[in-house]
Amino acid sequence: MKAVYLLFATIAFILIGLFIYRPFFDLSLLMVTNKNIQLYSNRMPGQFSSNFIFAILFGFIPITYFIIQKAAKIRFFYHGIIALSLLIGTGIVFWLIRVFYIKRKLELISSFKFQDEINTSYLINGFNYKNYLFLGFIVGALISVLIFRFKKKTT
């Protein structure tokens, strides 16, 4: 029965990921936009695969929670909410770290004095927000397992 719930939750999160990819990507670009640098992409087919990979990563949240639940032997309500908060929170923190790194990099590039004829541009295909989000989910899962296992050993 848990496998059916896990399957439905994973499919639901994948569908949610498909719908929130565009606002997520737009917010990420809005946070790094610099008035002196043009952002561009050199491949359009990569946009679909990027959307699909983001949705799969978002669908990874219920599976990761299930792994945390089995590894740390936690119950859902109080400890489960803490584990999910850590999981999603670290994913967001790692994504924000990447956003701030790119923003700083673009600020450094725009601080150089170029001639007026030269347009400064930056390729957005290398931003890799989804990789950092995934890394954040993994770190959040490890932190959750370590916290709840350590807590059980001390009691």
Structure tokens of 49? 């695969």
In the chain, domain spans = 2-150
Quick count: other Cβ atoms within 10 Å of Cβ 47? 14
Q: What is the pLDDT of residue 124?
A: 65
Q: How far apart are CA 64 and CA 7, in angstroms?
A: 12
Closest CA to 136 of 97, 78, 80: 97
Quote the pTM value: 0.81
Q: What is the pLDDT of residue 1?
A: 74
Mean pLDDT by 10 residues, the chain (155 residues): 87 92 83 71 61 87 88 80 90 91 82 64 70 90 86 64
Burial class of residue 19, CB neighbours in 10 A (0-12, 13-18, 19+)? exposed
